[in-house]
Amino acid sequence: MAEEQDSIVLADRYEIVAGERLQHLDSPGAEAFAVHDRHEPAADLFALIPPVHLACRAFAHPTHQVHSTNMLWPLKVGIIDWPVSGTGEDTIWGRRPAMVFQKPAGERVAPIGKPVTTQFPEPLLLKNVLEPVLHALRDMGPSGATHRAIRPDNLFYQLGNSGAVILGECFSMPPGYGQSAMYETIENAGCLPMARASGTVADDLYALGAMLLTMYLGRNPMAGMTEEQIILAKINYSSFTAMAGREKLPPSLAELLRGLLNDKLSERWTIRSVEGWLSGQHYSPAMPYLPQRASRPISFAGVEHVNKPSLGHAMSWHWQAAIQLVDAPDFDLWMRRSFNDDKALDTLQRIRGAAQNSGPASSMRDRLVARTIANLAQPGPICYKDLRLSLNGIGTLLSHIIDQQDQLNQFGDLMRGRIHQAWIQEQPSLRPEQIQALRPLDDAEKFVDRPGYGYGIERVLYDLAPGTPCRSSLISDFYVTDLRDLLPALDAAMPALEPGTKPMDRHISAFIAANLKRSLDRELSQLNNASTAAETALAILHLLAIVQGVHPTTKLPNLAEVMREMLQPSLALFHLASTRERISKQVDRHLNACDFGAVLLLFDPEGAARRGDEIGFAAARNAYAHKAREIAWIENGGLTDPMRIRTIANRTAAVGSALMASAGIAVLTLVTLL
C-alpha cells in the first residue's frame, strides 16, 4: 500500500516514485525523483519537482514542440498529486508541478555550486561544449523559451565523464536563478536571483561565453570576488576584460569570447555569428563598451568610483550609505563637474522633485536614492532598499516574497513610489520583451493601493506573474495555476479545514479576478460591501458561480456542503415562511447537483422569487400597519365614541320608527279596506 501511495502517475505513463530521491540530479531549488515508464520499462528517467510557490516556466512554453538531444528537455510536464507530509495512511496529499526527463548517461561536468576543475583544450571545448550547446540553443527556438541556466554545473557529459556534453534543464526555477553574477549580464547580475529577466538568446550566449572561459581555464577567473565586485569589475573594465583580461587566451578563442561577452547587446554575437566563426569566418573585434569616465573619482562604500553605473550599482548594494551620499554636497559636485555635463544639475533637481511628489514624505529619501540609481546605473536593475529586480522579473520576485512581510512592504513602497516607472523613463530604449511588460505593470499600479478582496498586492501578483499558483492558505498545496482547477482544489481542501471556513480569501478573489477575461469589479464590490453573513455568502457564491460558469465542474460535494451552511443566513432574505421553505428545498436540490449558478439565480434580487417575496412583504407590512392602526383606533374608543354612538342610535331609532309607522299605516289601510 505504501509503495502504491509513493508512486504517482503523470499522464498515465510516468510513475514518479516519491520515496526514491535522486539527489545527484537535483537542480537548484528543485528535487529529483526516480521515474518508471509504463510504456518503456527500460527507459531511464527522472522527474524534477519545482517549488510549489512559483510559476513553472515549462507551462509557459510549448515544450512538446521541441525534441533536443543536446539538452535535458522535458519529455512530459504536468501537475501531479504529491505527498505533502506524513506517511502511510496519514499522508496528506497536495499537488505539484512535475517534469520528466531522460536521465543523462554521463556525469555532471562540475558538482552543483562548485567551479569546474578540469581544463578543456580549445579544440575539445569547441567540439564537445560549444557545438552541442549551440545546437541546444537553436533547438529551443520553436518553444520561444530562453535557457538562462548555462553554467558548468548544469552540463552533463553525454557518456561517462568525458567527451561531448549536453545542457542541463532550465525550467525548474525562474530564469537565471542558479547563475552566479559571472554568468549574467551586468543588468541581470545586479538583480536578486528570483528577479532576473527571462531575457533573450543573447543572455544565453553571454552565459555561454562565460562558461567557455571558465572551462578553458579549468577554474573560475573571478574566484574570491563578491557578486558586487564582479559587477563593478564588469562595469569598469567590460565583461571580457574583467573576466579574461589577465588570462592568456588563444587569439581565436579570445575573438569568440570577446564577441559573446560584449556588454553592448546590439554588438553581442548571435548564434549565426558563432556558427559563422566555427566555419572559419572572422569578425572585426568589437571595442569594449565602457561608460563615460569621471574626471575625478568619488569614494563610496570604500571604493573609488570613476563612472556613474559603477556608483549606481554600488549604491544599490549599500542603501543606507546611499541615502547619506545623495544628501551630501560632494555628490552634487561630482555629478556636475566630473562629466562636463551642464544639465547634471537639472537632472538632479528633476529627480529630487519627482521623488518628493511620488509618495509619502517618510520614504522620500528612499525614493530619491532609487530614482538616482535608476539614472546612474545604466544598464542596471530597478532598486528599492533590499529589492533589486528586472522589469520582467517583478512578478516572479513578488511571488517569492509575498509571505515575507518586510520585503513585501518594500515592494509596496516601490510600486507606490512608481520607482519602476522612473526606471523606465531613464532608459534610453526598451527591448521588445520589456515593452510587453509595461501594460501589466500599468494595470497592476491601479490595484496596489485598492483595499478589499480582489485587489491589493495579491492582485498585483497574479497580474504580473501569469501562471503563478494561487497562494491562498486554503489551497496553496494544490498548485492551482489555472482557473479550471480552482473549484476542484477548494472542494478537495474543504474537509481538512476548520468548520465555518469560507471558501474565499484575498488570494482566491484576486486569482479569479486576474485570470478571468472580463472585469469583476461589480462582483468584487458586492463582496467588499457585504455587511452581513447573508450578503457575504451570496457574494462568494456569485464568484464561485462565475468560475463554474467558465469552467463547468459538477463534482464539488464538499464545497457544496460548505455553501449549504453558509447560505442559511441568506435564506432569511426571503420573508415569507412558505417561500423560504420552498427556496430552501430548491437550494438543497441545486447544491446536491453542485450547480452554483442555479442557486445564485434563486437569490437574484431581480429574480422572480426575490421580487415576488419583496412585493408581497411590502404589501404585508402595509396591511400589518393598517391593522395596527385599526387596533389603536378601536382601543382609543373609535367604535364606542359617544358622538358616533349617539349618531348611530338616533339614526337607528329614526329608521325603526319610520319602519314602524310604515307598517302601522299599511295594517290600518288593510283593516279599513277589508
Stretch that binds another protein, among 183-191, 458-466, 602-610, 613-621 (CB under 8 A): 613-621
582 binds another protein (CB under 8 A): no
CB of 618: closest distance to another protein in angstroms?
7
Choose among 320, 290, 288: nearest CA to 308.
290
Q: What is the DSSP string of 483-546?
A: GGGHHHHHHHHGGGSPTT--S--HHHHHHHHHHSSS--HHHHHHHHT--SHHHHHHHHHHHHHH
Site for another protein in 529-558 (CB under 8 A): 532, 534
Comparing C-alpha atoms, which of 153, 147, 156, 144 is closest to residue 206?
147
Q: Which of 575, 586, 603, 615 binds another protein (CB under 8 A)?
A: 575
Among residues 1, 223, 361, 577, the one that binds another protein under rule CB under 8 A = 577
Q: Which three cell numbers stand for residue 646?
A: 349617539
Chain-centre distance for alpha carbon 427: 25
CA distance 145 to 171: 9
- Whole-angstrom CA distances from 499 to 250, 308, 491 are 72, 59, 14
Q: What is the DSSP letter of 418?
A: T
Give the residue with the Cβ less far from another protein, 361 or 673.
673
Q: What are phi and psi of 34, to 5 degrees?
A: -75, 150
CB nearer another protein, residue 476 or residue 536: 536
How far are the Cα atoms of 132, 192, 300, 344 from residue 387, in angstroms, in the given order? Answer: 36, 7, 20, 27
Classify strands 382-384 and 387-389 as parallel, antiparallel or unpaired. Answer: antiparallel
User: Which C-beta is closer to another protein: that of 60 or that of 533?
Assistant: 533
Residue closer to another protein, measured from CB, 125 or 538: 538
659 binds another protein (CB under 8 A): yes
Return the HEC string of 568-595.
Answer: HHHHCCCCCHHHHHHHHHHHHHHHHCCC
Q: Is 618 in the site for another protein (CB under 8 A)?
A: yes
Does 615 sit near another protein (CB under 8 A)?
no
Position 573 contacts another protein (CB under 8 A): yes
Span near another protein by CB under 8 A; candidates 244-252, 345-353, 471-479, 622-630: 622-630
Q: Which of 43, 323, 408, 576 binds another protein (CB under 8 A)?
A: 576
Element containing residue 393 per DSSP (H, E) = none
Q: Which of 114, 343, 439, 651 binds another protein (CB under 8 A)?
A: 651
Binding mask 486-525 for another protein (x = CB under 8 A): ----------------------------------------
- Check residue 602 for interaction with another protein (CB under 8 A): no
Q: Which residue number, 495 or 607, has a Cβ lying nearer to another protein?
A: 607
Measured CA to CA in angstroms, residue 363 lies from 13, 62, 326, 431 at distances of 55, 43, 14, 30
What's the Cα-to-Cα distance from 554 to each of 21, 508, 542, rounded to whole Å? 37, 19, 16
Residue closer to another protein, measured from CB, 44 or 641:
641
Instruction: Annotate each residue in 316-345 with x if it binds another protein (CB under 8 A) or - if it does not, as one string.
Output: ------------------------------
Considering only the stretches 11-19, 125-133, 164-172, 635-643, report the one whose residues sit in contact with another protein under the rule CB under 8 A.
Answer: 635-643
Determine, following the binding rule CB under 8 A, whether residue 297 of this chain makes contact with another protein.
no
Reported as half-sphere exposure (CB side, CA atoms, 13 A), residue 629 has a value of 6
Rounded to whole angstroms, how far apart are CA atoms 119 and 441? Answer: 46
Sole window of 283-291, 306-314, 375-383, 644-652 interacting with another protein (rule: CB under 8 A)? 644-652
Nearer to another protein, 42 or 643 (CB): 643
Between 287 and 649, whose beta carbon lies closer to another protein?
649
Q: Determine, following the binding rule CB under 8 A, whether residue 625 of this chain makes contact with another protein.
A: yes
Q: What is the enclosing helix (H) or strand (E) of 15?
A: strand 14-21
Which residues are at the interface with another protein (CB under 8 A)? Answer: 532, 534, 569, 572-573, 575-578, 617-618, 620-625, 627-628, 630-631, 634-635, 638-640, 644-646, 648-654, 656-661, 663-665, 667-668, 671-672
